Amino acid sequence: MFTWNRIRQGLTLWRILSVAFVVSIMFSLWNLVWFNFSSLPRPFLLVWLILSLVGLIISIVFLREDQPRFLDWLFVLAGCLYLVLLLDVTWFSRAWTPIWTSEEVREHYFETSVNLQPLHTIIQYLSGYRNGYFGTVTTAANLIGNVILLMPVAFFGPLFVKKLRKWYLLLPSVILLTFTIEGVQMLFTCGAFDMDDVILNVFGAMMAFLVLYLLKIWTRIEQVGPKKDRPEESAGSDQTIQPAKPSPEEKKLYVSWKKSTARKTEEEKKEKGKK
C-alpha cells in the first residue's frame, strides 16, 4: 500500500537530482543534435550541465552505502557530453581562419586578440563594468564563465584517472589543457589567446578540486553500491570449520607441557619399578 511515508522515503535527494541530471543531459544532447529547433546558446547548456553536475555531487554526499550502483555509466555519459560542449564552446562554434593564411590575418589577430600581460583583461572588464562600458552579462560571461569552464575537469579527471587525485599532478594537466585550448584558438583565429583566460581556468579548476578533495567525493562514489552480504553458516551445511592455526607462543607452551608430562610419566614408572 502506498502511503505518504513510503513516497517520502522514495523521493530522496539523490534520486531527484539524479533524474534532473539525466534530463539535463538528454535535453543538452537534443540541443546539440537539433540545434536549429532551440534558441538556447551553447554556453548556457554548458553552464546548465555544470550546475546539474554540482547538484548530483551534493546529493552523493548524502548517499548511503546500500543504494543501487548506477553512477558509472551516468558519469561516463556526463563526461562525454561535457567534452563535446567544451570543444563546441571553445572551438567548433566559431569561425576558423588559419593564422598562416596571410600576413594581414596574423597582424590583425596579434593586434586585437592576443594578451600576454597577466590580469590586464580582468582589470579591463572590471573597470569597464564599473564605468558602464560593459554590461553584467558580458562581464560575467568573460570572467565568471572562464572560472567555471574547466571546473568539471577537476571532477572527471580524478574520477577516471586516480593519479590525478593529487593536486601536483592535476595542476600541470589543467595548465596543459588550457594552453592547448588557447593555442588552437590562436592557430585558427577562433578565439582570443589571453593569459587571463589561463589564470581564470586554472583557478576555477583548482578551487573545485579543493572542495571535492575535502568532501572526499571520489571515495564516496566508489563506496556507493549494494552491500555484500557475508556468507551465513548454517547448522546443516557441509562445510567443515577448520581450526585456527596456533600462535608461536601457544606452540611453545604446548611443547613445554608435553615435556613436563613425559617427565612425570617417567618418574612414575621409576617409582613403580623400585617398589
123-134 pLDDT per residue, tens: 999 999 888 888
Residue 132 has what pLDDT? Answer: 87
Residue 138 has what pLDDT? Answer: 84
Give the integer Cα–Cα distance in Å for 182 and 190: 9
Residue 27 has what pLDDT? Answer: 59
Residue 128 lies in a domain: yes
Question: Is residue 60 a contact partner of residue 14, using CB atoms and an 8 Å limit?
Answer: yes
Residue 55's CB is within 10 A of a number of other CB atoms, namely 18
Residue 36 DSSP class = G
Residue 250 lies in a domain: no
pLDDT under 70: residue ranges of the chain: 1-46, 48-49, 51-53, 55-72, 224-247, 273-275
Give the integer Cα–Cα distance in Å for 242 and 40: 68
Residue 66 lies in a domain: yes
Give the integer Cα–Cα distance in Å for 102 and 189: 12
Residue 180 has what pLDDT? Answer: 94
Residue 133 lies in a domain: yes
Q: Number of structural domains, the chain?
A: 1
Residue 169 lies in a domain: yes
pLDDT digits (tens, 9 = 90+) for 66-93: 455 566 677 777 787 788 778 878 887 7
- For residue 114, which phi and psi values (nearest 5 degrees)? -120, 125
98-107: long-range contacts, CB 8 A cutoff, minimum separation 24: 98/187, 98/188, 98/189, 99/186, 99/187, 99/188, 99/189, 105/189
Residue 61 lies in a domain: yes
Residue 195 lies in a domain: yes
Q: Count CA atoms within 13 Å of residue 126 on its CB side.
A: 8
Residue 234 lies in a domain: no
Question: Is residue 190 a contact partner of residue 99, using CB atoms and an 8 Å limit?
Answer: no
For 55, the domain range is 4-223
